[in-house]
Amino acid sequence: MNRKLKKSLKYLLVGVVFLAFFYFFPAPMIVLILCGVWDVTRNRDLNAGVIRQYFMRNGIGTWLASPINILMDILSLPYINKGVYQLCDLPRDYQEEIGSLLKKADELGVAGLVDKKTEGMKRAMYFFKWYGKNVDAALDIPEFHNKYKFVRTIGVSVFRERESTSRHFGPFRPSLRVLYCLNENVGEQAYIKVGPVENHWRENKLFIFDDTLLHQSFNETDDPRLVLFVDIIRPSYLPFVFDFAVSVIRVVFKGINGVFYKNWKLVNN
């Protein structure tokens, strides 16, 4: 079966399932469609390809979670979801905790330590903390197992030379993604793209964004690219709600977090 035929059959199957659900559950499906339309239009480079990817390809999970994600946006008010953030956009105590974590990662030489542990792996994720729960790791970095007020995930994302992701959406947004390039010298063509925004790690080592927006990471250089991978709960006046949502995600996906990183080598002990 050729690739074009497989793609056509996949679209047909998605369409049949959608129509079946719409027939039996019209009211919930109308709500889901409206939430999805609102959610996908948050992408600033919106076009037919983005819409198709959101509703029919790897964005389906994000679409199904859109009612909950929109509720997260409402509950976080008056902190409006900016999509892409500067550190100064976050409250002062967030800035201090993130700054302290990044400084510690540099002081401990985490890039070199993880680089050795992931040698030979084209694309790897090395976790120390995942959605609030410490992860046993061969690298002993007690500072990454501290109890943080806002930080819930700490890991390191490793791309070897000429490695890039496909365009994808993160599924949930009780948290924001904080990325920090650990390389001292990184090529110009190592960067992340969120909609029309490109962040080249050589120019700006810190990048904060809502990962339920369509994004893609690139390392089109001849050297490894290592990035500290951090999730923080979203700023709000109801932090316990976001903390609870993060805990639910951890419990539901316990033991199967590889579903989020199926194209990565998850490194354990």
The model's pLDDT over 23-79, given as tens digits with 9 standing for 90+, comes to: 677 788 899 999 999 999 999 989 999 998 999 888 999 999 999 999 999 999 999
Asked if residue 179 and residue 71 are part of one domain, the reply reads no
Is the same domain home to 125 and 249?
yes
Residue-by-residue DSSP string for 6-42: HHHHHHHHHHHHHHHHHHH-HHHHHHHHHHHHHHHTT
Q: Are residues 89 and 107 in the same domain?
A: yes
Residues 204 and 96 in one domain: yes
**pLDDT over 70 percentage in the chain:** 89
Number of domains in the chain: 2
Q: In terms of domains, do 262 and 159 share one?
A: yes
pLDDT-derived band at 96, boundaries 50, 70, 90: very high
pLDDT in tens, 132-167: 999 888 788 889 999 999 999 999 999 988 989 999
Whether residue 259 sits in one domain with residue 188: yes
The answer on 63 and 148 residing in a single domain is no
pLDDT above 70: residue 242: yes
216 residue type, one letter: Q
Distance between CA atoms of residues 183 and 204, nearest Å: 12
Question: What share of the chain has pLDDT > 90, as a percent?
Answer: 63
Indicate if 63 and 90 belong to the same structural domain: no
| Domain interval for residue 67 | 3-75
Does 133 lie in the same domain as 63?
no
For 255, the 3-state DSSP assignment is: coil
Asked if 111 and 24 sit in the same domain, the reply is no
CB 175 within 8 A of CB 230: no
Which CATH number goes with the domain that contains 208? Answer: 2.60.120.330
Q: Do 130 and 245 sit in the same domain of this protein?
A: yes
